[in-house]
Amino acid sequence: MRSGVKSVGRRLLWLALLLGSVVMASHAMAEDGYDLWLRYRPLESPALERYRPLAAELAGTANSPTLRAAAAELQRGLAGLLGVQPPLSERVSRAGALVFGTPSSSDIVKSLNLDLRALGAEGYVLRSASVAGRRVTVIAAATDVGVLYGAFHYLRLLQTRADVSRLELSASPRVQTRILNHWDNLDRTVERGYAGESLWDWHKLPDYLDPRYTDYARANASIGINATVLTNVNANALVLTPAYLEKAAALAGVLRPYGIRVYLTARFSAPIEIGGLATADPLDPAVAKWWRDKMAEIYRHIPDFGGLLVKANSEGQPGPQDYGRSHADGANMLADALAPHRGLLMWRAFVYSHEEPDDRAKQAYSEFVPLDGKFRDNVLLQVKNGAIDFQPREPFHPLFGAMPRTPLMMEFQITKEYLGFATHLAYLATMYRETLDADTWRKGRGSTVEKVIDGSLHGYRHTGMAGVANIGADRNWTGSQFDQANWYAFGRLAWDPGLPAQAIAEEWTRMTFGNEPALVQPVVSMMMGSREAVVDYMTPLGLHHLMGRGHHYGPGPWVEGGPRADWTSVYYHRADRNGIGFDRTARGSNAVAQYAPQVAVQFGDARRCPEQFLLWFHHLPWDYRMHSGRTLWDELVVTYTRGVQAVSAMRDTWAATAPYVDAERHAQVAAFLAIQEKEARWWRDASIAYFQTFSGRPLPAGEAAPAHSLDYYKSLEFPYAPGHH
């Protein structure tokens, strides 16, 4: 009996252990996306056998925080990918060593006499070489942060199964400041954020440094992002008070080893709000002194503070025009306060006023072009990709190419405020590429926006690219698995604005999900078509600004009235019995005249205007003949439907990838695609129901009628839609 009890007990114990290990194993395999693309999962054969001998040892001296971060990342990556923990040694003692360092940190690197000067302060080389007769791989740079970037690149090569046996590559960034703009508030809400609360836990700072801050830094460094604005452009002056500066300094301390500089947003009226002054007039000496003192104070807290980002006289924010001064007066006063510390001032060109009757699309150009050459040396003007506001598709902003004497930096939106929030799958690199590839013609053919941004067209002394972050405290960082790709793509394009969107998608997919061709190919093609699908079901043929009021969730083409015309939809689509579209030709607002003549004639002529921008520039009758031979009305309906169909096809594509993706992430993406399909149909149906009241025309043959009445769509309300405060 006793032995029987014992054996039952033992069996139970075994069962418990077994169950425990199964639970643990499945837990270990469950993936929630936290790892991002830095997902160092064990390699399969034969890649494993190929790479292992090339990482037998880590040879270098980790004698700075940045080099320690580089060595730690290599160790972590190699342990995950190759299942080895290569010893760290100062010299090469075996074949297959991975040598890392700068000429000053590593005698081996020094002895190789590499020409590192051309790489600049952030570039690196990856090179197969021979040291004392032994084959090694070298990750070398002139600076520690270059080594860190090189380490991430090396790991990426393994993650994407590249050949690393004969490496001979070098890389350096084409844009100087590669910066995230967090629209994060001090109460941890995030304006237009769809990934939960702000990552910055201000309340617990500076004493508690969430380990996530380090992972955030790793992720950014891995794609070359070297700066971050911690706070919302709709700024709260409190962030400039001593208590918050201490908190910001603590964050800067975490980010510094990863080559990331901290910036803050400055509320223009801060001298009044926290400084006790009666005015914030930029030409008042007391105001200028207040800012000078404030900057000195910031630099005492954060010696490598990057600078300030300012939204002024835009959407109700205070600014120099409140005192009858120009944007240049305001920007230069702040730039002067930053200059002794080598800080940069990023001044946003996103300005428009409801008191100004002119077409909103024209206002930034009208405001800033006359100020070209009037800004201090440390000012960059930050310009959104298009002239309205981060719409699913906009023609490039006419300011690009039009301010040769003022460094213009790009502002892209990574968070998908106008492209379906976190649930819609929209890979944005194709959109970023479209803008970067656009030809401004300002210095003849080939004067692309890319060349404006990398500074080569006008010889800018400063260059920059900003991305409005989509990051929050959600486990998967960005609210969805595929939104991680947009963070990734932004960083890669900021480093090299010439990269093809497809190559970035492929790289990301391999790192994030795996290398099986049956996975990579369909996922990449799904990503490549995804943003076009959103354009089709939300704002086809150049339509824009048709979303719900305030929260911007879902369709709202009927939005009218309220405090400002330029915050309604009817202002933009101008649909009536006769037709639809915003006439921006010489007969209308003449916004086309803000482009170079070669561009203006194209956009200004309905026959030559790319149809994707047709209703952006033209008001056309419903029976206008499209290139397809269809009427404009029919084309509109067909395009909406095409968008919905594309999402259905994406669902099928994704379903077929199930064998290659862990269950947790697969299920989440599948569920989000189902939401996307539902909402795509909602956009189509609501838009068609609304525009049909003007066109008075039947739907083309075979097209399904909207599922509900227009009144139904108009009645929907979403008081707690995320991202809106």
Of 259 and 548, nearer to ligand BDP (C-beta) is 548
DSSP characters over 589-619: T-GGGGS-HHHHHHHHSTTTS-GGGHHHH--
572 forms part of the interface with ligand BDP (CB under 6 A) = no
Residue 70, token pair as written in the block: 């580089």
Q: How far is the CB of 723 from ligand BDP (least distance, A)?
A: 8
192 forms part of the interface with ligand BDP (CB under 6 A) = yes
Of 229 and 504, nearer to ligand BDP (C-beta) is 229
Residue type, 656: A
Q: Which positions from 44 through 83 interact with ligand BDP, judged by CB under 6 A?
A: none
Radius of gyration of the chain (CA): 27
Looking at the chain, the number of H-run helices and the number of E-run strands are 22, 16
CA distance 73 to 131: 23
414 forms part of the interface with ligand BDP (CB under 6 A) = no
Residue (of 411, 324, 322, 309) closest to 364 by Cα position = 411
Q: How far is the CB of 621 from ligand BDP (least distance, A)?
A: 31
Q: How far is the CB of 566 from ligand BDP (least distance, A)?
A: 12
Residue closest to ligand BDP when measured from CB atoms: 389
Q: Which positions from 664 through 723 interact with ligand BDP, judged by CB under 6 A?
A: none
Q: How far is the CB of 311 from ligand BDP (least distance, A)?
A: 5
Indicate if 583 belongs to the active site: no
> For ligand BDP, which residue of 37, 347, 390, 421 counts as binding (CB under 6 A)?
390
CA distance 252 to 231: 13
Q: How far is the CB of 542 from ligand BDP (least distance, A)?
A: 19
Residue 518, token pair as written in the block: 């049956």
Q: Do β-strands 124-131 and 168-171 pair in parallel, antiparallel, or remain unpaired?
A: antiparallel
Of 51 and 352, nearer to ligand BDP (C-beta) is 352
Cα angle 225-263-389, degrees, rounded to a multiple of 5: 75
Q: How far is the CB of 319 from ligand BDP (least distance, A)?
A: 12
Let me know: does 168 contact 455? Beta carbons within 8 Å: no
Q: Which residues does residue 677 pair with via DSSP β-bridges, in sequence order? A: none
Catalytic one of 73, 389, 439, 483: 389
Of 309 and 527, nearer to ligand BDP (C-beta) is 309
Alpha helices in 33-64 (DSSP H): 47-51
Catalytic one of 107, 197, 246, 315: 315
Indicate if 44 belongs to the active site: no
Residue (of 56, 72, 48, 216) closest to 147 by Cα position = 72
Q: How far is the CB of 658 from ligand BDP (least distance, A)?
A: 36
Residue (of 82, 86, 117, 118) closest to 100 by Cα position = 86
Between helices 483-495 and 211-222, what is the axis angle to 10°? Answer: 50
Of 347 and 390, nearer to ligand BDP (C-beta) is 390
Q: How far is the CB of 317 from ligand BDP (least distance, A)?
A: 8
Let me know: does 92 contact 132? Beta carbons within 8 Å: yes
Of 257 and 472, nearer to ligand BDP (C-beta) is 472
Alpha helices in 656-709 (DSSP H): 663-695
Let me know: does 265 contact 239? Beta carbons within 8 Å: yes
Q: Which residues does residue 465 pair with via DSSP β-bridges, in sequence order? A: 178, 410
Indicate if 281 belongs to the active site: no
Alpha-carbon distances of 317 from 43, 198, 270, 355, 601, rounded to whole Å: 52, 22, 12, 14, 36
Of 350 and 640, nearer to ligand BDP (C-beta) is 350
Of 273 and 315, nearer to ligand BDP (C-beta) is 315
Of 191 and 281, nearer to ligand BDP (C-beta) is 191
Q: Which positions from 284 through 313 interact with ligand BDP, judged by CB under 6 A?
A: 311
Please state whether the peptide bond connecting residue 46 to the residue before it is cis, i.e. omega within 30 degrees of 0: yes
CA distance 681 to 120: 50
Of 391 and 478, nearer to ligand BDP (C-beta) is 391
Q: Which residues does residue 265 pair with via DSSP β-bridges, in sequence order? A: 309
CA distance 422 to 673: 11
CA distance 196 to 522: 30
Residue (of 515, 436, 530) closest to 482 by Cα position = 530
> For ligand BDP, which residue of 57, 191, 483, 583 counts as binding (CB under 6 A)?
191
CA diameter of the chain:
101
Q: How far is the CB of 216 from ligand BDP (least distance, A)?
A: 22
Catalytic one of 417, 454, 474, 532: 417
Q: Where are the beta strands (DSSP E) in 123-257?
A: 124-131, 134-140, 168-171, 177-181, 227-229
232-271 footprint of ligand BDP as x/- string (CB under 6 A): -xx-------------------------------------
Let me know: does 436 contact 448? Beta carbons within 8 Å: yes
Residue 651, token pair as written in the block: 């669902």
Of 384 and 665, nearer to ligand BDP (C-beta) is 384
Q: How far is the CB of 193 from ligand BDP (least distance, A)?
A: 10
Of 297 and 315, nearer to ligand BDP (C-beta) is 315
Let me know: does 140 contact 180? Beta carbons within 8 Å: no
How many positions of this chain bind ligand BDP (CB under 6 A)? 10
3-state secondary structure of 127: strand
Alpha helices in 482-554 (DSSP H): 483-495, 501-512, 517-538
Q: How far is the CB of 391 from ligand BDP (least distance, A)?
A: 9
Q: How far is the CB of 556 from ligand BDP (least distance, A)?
A: 13
Residue (of 407, 355, 366) closest to 383 by Cα position = 407
Of 389 and 483, nearer to ligand BDP (C-beta) is 389
314-333 footprint of ligand BDP as x/- string (CB under 6 A): -x------------------
Determine how many CB atoms are found less than 10 A away from the CB of residue 164: 17
CA distance 410 to 402: 14
DSSP characters over 426-482: --THHHHHHHHH-B--BTBTT-BHHHHHTSTTTT-S--EEEEE----SSTTSSSSTT
Q: Which positions from 350 through 389 interact with ligand BDP, judged by CB under 6 A?
A: 350, 389
Q: How far is the CB of 494 from ligand BDP (least distance, A)?
A: 18
Residues known to be catalytic = 315, 389, 417
Residues that bind ligand BDP (CB under 6 A): 191-192, 233-234, 311, 315, 350, 389-390, 417
